[in-house]
Amino acid sequence: MPLISEDQLESELRKLVIAHDRSPMAVEADVQRRVDRSRRRRRVAPWTAIAAMSLGAALVVVSRDQPAEVIAADDGAAFTPSPDSTGDLPTVDQIEIRTTRSGAQAIVTFTDVLTGQPTFTASIDSASPDLMQYTTQERSAVQVCGSVHTFNEDGFGSVDLLLPESQVRWDMSMTQPRPVYDDIDESSPIRGGKAVVCGPHAGFVQVSLWDLAPAEASQVSVTLSDDRRSLVVSVACPAPGDC
Amino acid sequence: MESSVPQTAFHDFLVTDYPRIVGVVALTTGSRMAAEDAVHEALARAWERRNDIEYLNRWVLAVALNLARSRWRRLRREVLQKDPPDQPSVPAPEAMSPQLLNAVRELPARQREVVLLHYVLDKPIREIAQVTGLTEGGVKHALFRARQSLLNRLSPTEAPDAAHL
């Protein structure tokens, strides 16, 4: 049994907070600089948007297998354009990632109805190129279209949708991520989560959903929406406080 | 700063709350620089929304933790295997127990936040629930598990060099 008391624990924890050596004036000056910078940004924002739209038309050069990233929460990143041609196949249209106190949900919506039901496969390596499948990956080795990524420390693993290239395409030049968190107060807790779309690679378009919650297969379900246009990925927290 | 009343509140915050909040955010993320950046950015945003904020302390803490989580997530999220791992940048003060620091670092992120908010910032369960987005039951559960983990890690039977505790 532990022999230290709770009071001792509290006392020791307080010692971990290092005495701060910044003067309030120095902090205030830095905060003021940020306020000024933010105001300047707001003044030039409309002109920046116009310039970006003009430039955007000329800068659409991305390799076919290059992952495009959709970052939820306040990261605010946008899809990267892809030169893929969509043809008549359902195309990834948008991805929403929502976090709640009990878990997370990602909704991947397509431009047209999907055929088939998503099924679980134990690993990417054993996935069938003819089936719409999903799997989970440990944080120590997340395969994304041939690259292996790792998460440090508290990072969670991934939930991965593997969509046959014969059934699905992605064409990011047509899409913009829907802001997921713009309707909540800025001080509300967020957990983010991230979507990486890439491929086709080894016969699949891969939608890799990172960092939502512990990506254990038993806590993940993937279903097709009633209108067959969305894949709904639900990730449950194993227990309160564990997400 | 422009308005006299908010200026007073902000000045008070810098003197009384700022050091401990930066310290807690630093322990949460493992990076002192990231913690300062997050708290300063939260303060700048708070200044611009000062008419809408009821409790400056709570608002800045919540936004700073959000920013720090987000930044930390960006830093850690895709380290290719060939890259060296990130090194934590919280310096160890003289009085610190390295064992306790390691134990805190090894807690799941949510438990780490909860235990630091509770023990270091003296936040009540209800306020921790508001800041973290957990239910009050979830906070209690996380606190219980964190406390158990820390006490077990620091008990002499498992950690002989923790005798100074």
Higher pLDDT, B163 or B101: B101
Nearest-CA distance A207 → chain B (Å):
15
Higher pLDDT, A209 or A88: A209
Cβ-nearest to A240 among B24, B120, B137: B137
Q: How far apart are the C-alpha atoms of B135 and B125, rounded to whole Å? A: 9
Q: How far apart are the C-alpha atoms of A127 and B12, rounded to whole Å? A: 59
Say what the pLDDT of residue A133 is.
92
Provide, as residue numbers in chain A, all residues whose Cβ is less than 8 Å from the Cβ of B41.
34
Which of A43-52, A181-190, A220-229, B64-73 is the most confident on average? Answer: A220-229
The residues near B87 (Cβ < 8 Å, ≥ 6 apart) are none
Provide, as residue numbers in chain B, all residues whose Cβ is less than 8 Å from the Cβ of A98.
none
Q: How far apart are the C-alpha atoms of B163 and A3, rounded to whole Å? A: 10
Provide, as residue numbers in chain B, all residues whose Cβ is less than 8 Å from the Cβ of A22.
36
Say what the pLDDT of residue A81 is.
28
Please, what's the b/e burial string for A30-66 (b: 16 or more CB within 10 A of its CB; e: otherwise)? bbeebbeeeeeeeeeeeeeeeeeeeeeeeeeebeeee
Q: Are A142 and A149 in contact (CB under 8 A)?
A: yes
Residue A178 pLDDT > 70: no
List strands edge to edge, sheet with A103-110.
A169-170, A91-100, A103-110, A230-236, A220-224
B119 — contact with chain A (CB < 8 Å)?
Answer: yes
Say what the pLDDT of residue A3 is.
58
Structure tokens at A173: 């030049």
Residue B127 pLDDT > 70: yes
Of the ranges A72-81, A158-167, B102-111, B119-128, which one carries the lowest mean pLDDT score?
A72-81
Residue A86 pLDDT > 70: no
What is the arithmetic mean of pLDDT over A161-188? 61
The CA-based diameter of chain A, rounded to the nearest angstrom, is 68
Say what the pLDDT of residue B125 is.
92
Structure tokens at B72: 């930390």
Residue B77 pLDDT > 50: no
Residue A1 pLDDT > 50: no
Residue B6, preceding peptide bond in cis (omega within 30° of 0): no
B156 — contact with chain A (CB < 8 Å)?
Answer: yes
Residue A29 pLDDT > 50: yes
Single-letter code of the amino acid located at A195? A
What is the arithmetic mean of pLDDT over B1-21? 75
Provide, as residue numbers in chain A, all residues whose Cβ is less than 8 Å from the Cβ of B123.
none
Q: Are A241 and B114 in contact (CB under 8 A)?
A: yes
Q: How far apart are the C-alpha atoms of A200 and A178, rounded to whole Å? A: 23
Higher pLDDT, B121 or A66: B121
Say what the pLDDT of residue B72 is.
54
B19-24, Cβ contacts within 8 angstroms, sequence gap of 24 or more: B19/A17, B19/A19, B19/A20, B20/A17, B20/B120, B20/B121, B21/B57, B21/B60, B21/B61, B21/B64, B21/B121, B22/A20, B23/A16, B23/A17, B23/A18, B23/A20, B23/B120, B24/A17, B24/B61, B24/B116, B24/B117, B24/B120, B24/B121
DSSP alpha helix (H) spans, chain A:
6-16, 24-56
Residue A206 pLDDT > 70: yes
Residue B113 pLDDT > 50: yes
At A161, the pLDDT band (50, 70, 90 cuts) reads: very high
The answer, as to whether pTM is greater than 0.80, is no
The residues near A201 (Cβ < 8 Å, ≥ 6 apart) are A65, A145, A146
Q: What is the DSSP letter of A112?
A: S
**End-to-end Cα spacing for chain B:** 44
Q: How far apart are the C-alpha atoms of A205 and B114, rounded to whole Å? A: 39
Say what the pLDDT of residue A21 is.
67
Q: How far apart are the C-alpha atoms of A51 and A173, rounded to whole Å? A: 18
Measured in degrees and rounded to the nearest 5, phi and psi for residue A114 equal: -95, 155
> Do B142 and A28 count as a contact with CB atoms less than 8 A apart?
no
Of the ranges A52-61, A180-189, A191-200, B93-102, which one carries the lowest mean pLDDT score?
A52-61
What is the arithmetic mean of pLDDT over A81-98? 63
Residue A162 pLDDT > 90: yes
Cα of B132 vs its chain's centroid, Å? 11
> Do B14 and A24 count as a contact with CB atoms less than 8 A apart?
yes
Residue B68 pLDDT > 70: yes
Provide ipTM, 2 decimals.
Answer: 0.71
Q: How far apart are the C-alpha atoms of A194 and A139, rounded to whole Å? A: 14
Residue A75 pLDDT > 50: no
Of the ranges A187-191, A202-206, B85-89, B140-144, which one carries the lowest mean pLDDT score?
B85-89
At A30, the pLDDT band (50, 70, 90 cuts) reads: confident
Say what the pLDDT of residue B160 is.
44
Count of A–B CB contacts within 8 Å? 188
> Do B86 and A191 count as a contact with CB atoms less than 8 A apart?
no
Provide, as residue numbers in chain A, all residues whose Cβ is less than 8 Å from the Cβ of B121.
none
Say what the pLDDT of residue A4 is.
67
Residue with tokens 């999907």: A114
> Do A20 and B133 count as a contact with CB atoms less than 8 A apart?
no
**End-to-end Cα spacing for chain A:** 28
CA dihedral of residues B10, B11, B16, B19 (deg, nearest 10)? 80
Measured in degrees and rounded to the nearest 5, phi and psi for residue B133 equal: 85, 5
